[in-house]
Structure 1
């Protein structure tokens, strides 16, 4: 190996980890067992005899499944890990973007973190001062410099980390999927900067689950599997061989050599958020996947390569894995030779809160009529406890005589706006199986994902889904109740949640006060569990309270607006954000809907802006809503502004624009997008959730 012009050289490097052969619940038990020699370890080789030679200015992409060793190799190059054997030599400075938020202190503001992270990268304070404005401008975080980054979204943290790391062109830039959480516009911005850095001689090491991104940004690629290099060379050739290996027909029914991975024919029932994300995730792992839906218009769009809904990364993955994705409305085609049928149809609520299983029942009828082989029916839809037992009984009684159908529960835990990432990097895969054979089948099905698996009985799996979602809904309603009390006692909910979140028993997740939860899960699942309890002659008082609190909280901004206007007739009211959360176009149970209908009924005119959901909002509300193309247009000549969604575009609005464009600058922030300290002296009235109202002479007296 010629190392003269190498910037990174790895020679026969092996990384070994020792993993305890049994689960230990706490640190005390660990040390007791260790002292008594009762703890045994198994060797796990994350990398095996890796050798590679990277020259200055080259661009290398790393591809492979989860657990293939990509991140371990990058950490080895960065010096975070040392090889168990072999050697590594790095000749140059490194800017590592390996983990989201690495090197950032959540307690500090963005401005403070710029200097902290710069120091960690070896830059002087003077250097960071000179480049401070450049970093802030590129990250587009000017309005949030004084905000602790614990309050930042994942996309905002990614923007800050990338901006700091790339202020100067390092010898080596390492990017490990941290940009997957950023918005599309910022990812393009980052790609342009990386291309400029490459042209100036920077060496790039890049990891992505999208082989297309690797081909676009890198000239070379390394394919890793189970800690070993399968292939290295030109990015185009390596990515082609990788995808061809995954989709090759002769490997669908046999294990990939050297692994325990088996490819099967999958059918996904339902082309909604859950169904499409599930389909592209399995296709990306090499499975031949067919998706069936009764919506002919939606299937037609998918067959033409058009994504019918907005979900980050979904459109790109649909296009890239098109060779392994098939869409149909015909049950005979969808169920022919399927090894597993994953049911991911909607389960909406009825008026009394009971789950409507009519879509599931229709899917089961088609399955019973068309399946002629042995297969597993996997219920991924959210269904009441006991549904899988009923499904099994129905299929046993109604399936064709030549068919053998097993039933398994596999609930989903996807969050809209990050569903693709959640599917590929799940905290756990829950499998509900009442036989060991079914459990083993599902474990093999998910083996390519290399994710933790929790295997339980079907009823327990069904309950895990409801118990998990309802607990999070309880947490949201609880903190909203505390926020409402804060407003009456001059406490600040942001300060309260910081103090609470330091307790590991509580944590920081789902402690963000606002105007209530919405979407397709929490509202429906809380009502469903409450109904299920009632039907079993038990009352879940906590869940009932969460439902009631949330319904009241949705109208919190109406309550606040009534402090400034005795009635809403002939007022122009701006809605900034209408979807139930950022990074989705979903309006189901969105607080904006009930507020709009109420205000229009009282004679108000609504002007709405949202980057993704405004057209659907217009369809849902109809007359009385003016859809605006820009935030400025929405604010112009408005009597009051209501913020319902914490989109980054809204967080980044210059606060002075409210006073500049609005007739009377009254801002009611239902998502606490701004720090109250930033509002002082800005000539607006600012009323948020769980914090003191900020008054200005202009806004109050006009």
Structure 2
């Protein structure tokens, strides 16, 4: 294979995974970040994010001399005399005013490296960006000898390394076919189906895929509510649906709503794209509205379980929250549905004590304001009026529910993930309340 000189700007979930995995494929990679302390930690092999296999890949790449960390995009351009052949932009594109993606960091990096890029270099937008960003990037560069392509990422937090090395597909879009083919060739060893297209189509693929997944999740949560009302079992319903190859088993698990760093941002951005095109995307709007309702519905379940009334008061009721991250296997709190439910419970006057395997009480986070975080689930449950399972950490299944029943004020568990074995919880003395369960 051809070994390429690659620069990756940004060392978050996407950037660090991209850099480490490309190095594992044999390329020479330099990763840049503006956080000096973070760069020093990475040079020592210290990884800030919880991502299985990532620390090992970083260590292997550094030991082989194929992975280097530098401070700032300018340093990445000057890391070798020849400069990079490909530069990946993996910087944050947070939700801005009105749901529009904020491209200020992308544009700042482009302006910084514009004069430093060697002729023939390919600039790759890896971050999730609105349709038209590749064209905008090319305009900012103002370089006819530098191509811009879109190569969206499809990485799930908690399995990002696996997803990168075992992709369902590689999507590359650009106006210059040879540049798109050069970027696609970086992944040749992975043997994945490759879609070569124009930049707008590649940019839209990521939004379209994530919005579809969000719709699927909102749909199954709505069906779960219907199951609650009709006395049906959502597990059996989704099993029956999932065997249909047109539907599949994935994303059919009900929960407290969807969240994380991608789906909320991308559904809002899709609405903005549609509005700009004078198209009313009612499906996406209904998807978001259904998700908001799902979080409120979880609070209604807690009210009913604790007070016996849907509108009962939770004022000064102690509630134990099991799980605070947006999903198991990560320490990411961004747009966590668990925290959204916690905020609603707090507004209702509840006293909240939370436990999450990925969080430490001595490392406070602003998103956890109003939640007392402890490092022991049994301590979290002490004197609680209810235990609410909000994140699907497998270890919650193996807790001693008899011991928990002795600690709580009221042995009731609201399992918003249908994670637990109801029989085990009930044998422990708990009333188990699930989602979409008769």
TM-score for the superposition, normalised by structure 2: 0.93
Matched, 1:347 2:93: yes
Report the Cα distance in structure 1 between the residues aligned to 2:235 and 2:421, rounded to whole angstroms: 9
Find 1:651's aligned residue among 393, 397, 401: 397
Could you report, residue by residue, the CA deviation over 1:497-543 in whole angstroms, capped at 9, with x for unpaired residues?
01111111111110101111111111111110011101111011111
Find 1:591's aligned residue among 333, 337, 362: 337
1:295 match: 35
Cα RMSD (Å) of the superposition?
1.8
In the TM superposition, residue 592 of structure 1 has moved relative to its aligned partner by 2.0
Q: 1:615 to 1:468 in 2, by over 3 A?
A: farther
Find 1:489's aligned residue among 210, 219, 230: 230
Q: Please tell me whether the aligned partners of residues 575 and 642 of structure 1 are also in contact (alpha carbons under 8 angstroms).
A: yes
Report the Cα distance in structure 1 between the residues aligned to 2:195 and 2:118, rounded to whole angstroms: 30
Q: Please tell me whether the aligned partners of residues 586 and 613 of structure 1 are also in contact (alpha carbons under 8 angstroms).
A: no
Matched, 1:315 2:55: yes
Shifted more, 675-684 versus 426-435: the winner is 675-684
Matched, 1:548 2:289: yes
Instruction: Describe the SS at the equivalent of 1:310.
Output: coil
Q: 1:518 to 1:510 in 2, by over 3 A?
A: same
Write out aligned runs for 1:526-605 (5 A).
526-563=267-304, 564-565=306-307, 566-605=312-351
Instruction: Describe the SS at the equivalent of 1:291.
Output: strand
In the TM superposition, residue 680 of structure 1 has moved relative to its aligned partner by 4.4
Identify unmatched segments of 5+ residues in structure 1. Answer: 1-260, 693-702
Report the Cα distance in structure 2 between the residues aligned to 1:677 and 1:417, rounded to whole angstroms: 29
Instruction: Describe the SS at the equivalent of 1:346.
Output: coil
In the TM superposition, residue 678 of structure 1 has moved relative to its aligned partner by 4.2
In the TM superposition, residue 568 of structure 1 has moved relative to its aligned partner by 2.1
Q: Please tell me whether the aligned partners of residues 388 and 414 of structure 2 are also in contact (alpha carbons under 8 angstroms).
A: yes
Shifted more, 656-665 versus 527-536: the winner is 656-665
In the TM superposition, residue 668 of structure 1 has moved relative to its aligned partner by 0.9
Q: 1:615 to 1:683 in 2, by over 3 A?
A: closer
Report the Cα distance in structure 2 between the residues aligned to 1:643 and 1:438, rounded to whole angstroms: 48
**How many residue pairs align between the two structures?**
427
1:109 match: none
Question: Which structure carries more strand by proportion?
Answer: 1
Structure index of larger Rg: 1
Matched, 1:335 2:77: yes
Could you report, residue by residue, the CA deviation over 1:263-307 in whole angstroms, capped at 9, with x for unpaired residues?
011011111000000010011111111111122222221122211
Report the Cα distance in structure 2 between the residues aligned to 1:602 and 1:369, rounded to whole angstroms: 55
Shifted more, 658-667 versus 414-423: the winner is 658-667
Identify unmatched segments of 5+ residues in structure 2. Answer: none
Q: Please tell me whether the aligned partners of residues 574 and 607 of structure 1 are also in contact (alpha carbons under 8 angstroms).
A: yes
Matched, 1:502 2:243: yes
Report the Cα distance in structure 2 between the residues aligned to 1:371 and 1:439, rounded to whole angstroms: 18
Find 1:379's aligned residue among 118, 125, 145: 125
Of the two structures, which has the highest relative contact order with CA contacts closer than 8 Å and spacing of 6 or more? 2
In the TM superposition, residue 358 of structure 1 has moved relative to its aligned partner by 1.0
Matched, 1:638 2:384: yes
1:122 match: none
Report the Cα distance in structure 2 between the residues aligned to 1:499 and 1:415, rounded to whole angstroms: 26
In the TM superposition, residue 311 of structure 1 has moved relative to its aligned partner by 0.8
Instruction: Describe the SS at the equivalent of 1:515.
Output: coil
Matched, 1:479 2:220: yes
Report the Cα distance in structure 1 between the residues aligned to 2:434 and 2:39, rounded to whole angstroms: 43
